[in-house]
Amino acid sequence: MAARLPNSRQTVKRKAQEVKLARELEKQLSKKEILTLYLNRVYFGAGLYGIDAAARYYFGKEPAKLTVAEAALLAALPKAPSKLNLRENLAGAKERQDYVLSQMVEMSFITQAEADKAKAQEIVIIDPPTYDPQLGYALDAASERVKAMLPRIPGDLVVTVSLDMDLQEKIQKQLADRMAKDGTSAGASQISALLIEKTGRVAVLVGGTDYTTSEFNRVTQSVRQPGSSFKPFVYATALEDGYSPYDVFDDAPIAIDKWKPENYTGNFLGPMTMSEALARSINTVAVELTQLSGPARVADTARRFGITSKMEPYPSIALGSQEVSLWELTRAFGTFQSGGLRLDPWLIERIEDSRGNVLYQRPEYDRDRVYSEELAREMNGMLYRVVNSDIGTGGRARISNWAVAGKTGTSQDWRDAWFVGFSAAYVGGVWVGNDDE
């Protein structure tokens, strides 16, 4: 074990280091513990480090369930892991297996009869496990979080991530099918999605159309203008300032200095309630509400709800001019879903070192209240209307027998398209667009 130092040059200094490390290991660990540490770190070829990875890759089982023949075969690999790859050179590996079995007899670990039986056993190598490269987005995000949690990573780790693999695979397929069908006609090359359970567990994370051509994660790394999907924070601020969903505002031309925002239709509809204005995604009312509350107050609400990107207090914040990530925006909508409790999404359930010591265990989930439960109920009623009323812009997100609420958004010149919404169990977000805008 001591010989497995990072520097592979065989020098006198290196040998001295090995001797010193070996003595330290013998002082601190039993022989069994040293062997366990070695088996959890040694290279078995085919990109496999540790006996657990090798046993699952070649035989589809955990090490404790290996037969004597299988265990001896794996024990043969570290001597020449590339040369003795079981899928490419099983005959060569079996020759080495015979030597391992003879040594096991000599050391009285097994009898000669058991060795003969192991030599005669037919070795069945399972098909290599398939790996969907689209999972790379989620695994990269998990890796970044582990690095942030453990700045000094103590060797090999076993990390349990939060993904719901059934949902992950289904949504990956749905997104791929949708892009294949409509991507070109819509002028969009990328799509990303995030689904978070009410507990904060990240169930699904898809960071782009194709991980093999672009590893850039459009859930966590990309920041874009959310457009009208940011408006709920304007309305949430207005409710805190004493306004009601039934208060009437005039959808009419408005000017702030030289800025004259218009609705995406180019038309004005006159007096309407706040609730109707949000359902129709009326720009003028959102701008007026922002002026009444103050852009700085709207920015503060967004930050309280979970937006971490810089929010400049400009009037145009009303229409989602400040760039955010899909991760942030989806997280912030989770505050509406929970009745005013801020959502803190998690990707990492547990981290262990190679000896099985728990380095991190996700604590019990405890959420901070950042918004009134009563006002959150009023907001959710308005967001429900966005999806489920005849006038709402989010009708395509309607699901039969499901209470879904949310908000659509498009950025200037239709460069980005968003939908962020929630049911009782999940909050989710989708972004569609192009990396080059």
CATH number, position 298: 3.40.710.10
Identify whether residues 94 and 199 lie together within a single domain: no
Query: Is residue 148 a part of any domain in this protein?
Result: no
Residues spanned by the domain of 264: 165-433
| pLDDT recorded at residue 1 | 44
**In the chain, what's the furthest Cα-to-Cα distance?**
94
Query: Is residue 335 a part of any domain in this protein?
Result: yes
Identify whether residues 218 and 338 lie together within a single domain: yes
265, exposed or middle or buried, with CB in 10 Å at 0-12, 13-18, 19+? Answer: exposed
Question: Residue 338 to residues 199, 275, 305, 393: CA-CA distances in angstroms?
Answer: 10, 20, 11, 23
Identify whether residues 241 and 102 lie together within a single domain: no
Identify whether residues 219 and 279 lie together within a single domain: yes
Q: Are the beta carbons of 404 and 389 closer than 8 angstroms? A: no
Which of 57, 85, 120 is where one domain is finished? 120
Query: Is residue 156 a part of any domain in this protein?
Result: no
Q: How many residues comprise the chain?
A: 437
Query: Is residue 150 a part of any domain in this protein?
Result: no
Q: Are the beta carbons of 21 and 5 closer than 8 angstroms? A: yes
- Could you tell me how far CA 237 lies from the centroid of its own chain? 30
| pLDDT recorded at residue 412 | 74
Which of 54, 89, 120 is where one domain is finished? 120
Global confidence as pTM: 0.75
Which of 120, 151, 177 is where one domain is finished? 120
Count of structural domains, the chain: 2
Identify whether residues 311 and 218 lie together within a single domain: yes
What is the rounded CA–CA span in Å between residue 31 and residue 15? 21
| Residue 82 C-beta-side C-alpha neighbours within 13 Å | 0
Identify whether residues 245 and 116 lie together within a single domain: no
Identify whether residues 257 and 317 lie together within a single domain: yes
| pLDDT recorded at residue 4 | 46
Query: Is residue 138 a part of any domain in this protein?
Result: no
Identify whether residues 65 and 201 lie together within a single domain: no
Per the DSSP assignment, residues forming a β-bridge with 219 are none
Q: Are the beta carbons of 248 and 273 closer than 8 angstroms? A: yes
Query: Is residue 170 a part of any domain in this protein?
Result: yes
One digit per residue, the tens of pLDDT, for the chain of length 437 reads 444 444 444 455 555 665 666 666 666 778 787 777 788 878 888 767 789 889 988 999 999 999 999 999 999 999 888 888 898 899 999 999 999 999 999 999 999 999 999 999 999 999 887 778 899 999 999 989 998 998 887 777 889 999 999 999 999 999 999 999 999 998 999 999 999 999 999 999 999 999 989 999 999 999 999 999 999 999 999 999 999 999 999 999 999 999 999 998 999 999 999 999 999 999 999 999 999 999 999 999 999 999 999 999 999 999 999 999 999 999 999 999 999 999 999 999 999 987 788 999 999 888 999 999 999 999 999 999 999 999 999 999 998 888 999 999 998 777 899 999 999 999 999 999 999 76
Query: Is residue 42 a part of any domain in this protein?
Result: yes
| pLDDT recorded at residue 408 | 97
Identify whether residues 190 and 51 lie together within a single domain: no
Identify whether residues 113 and 180 lie together within a single domain: no
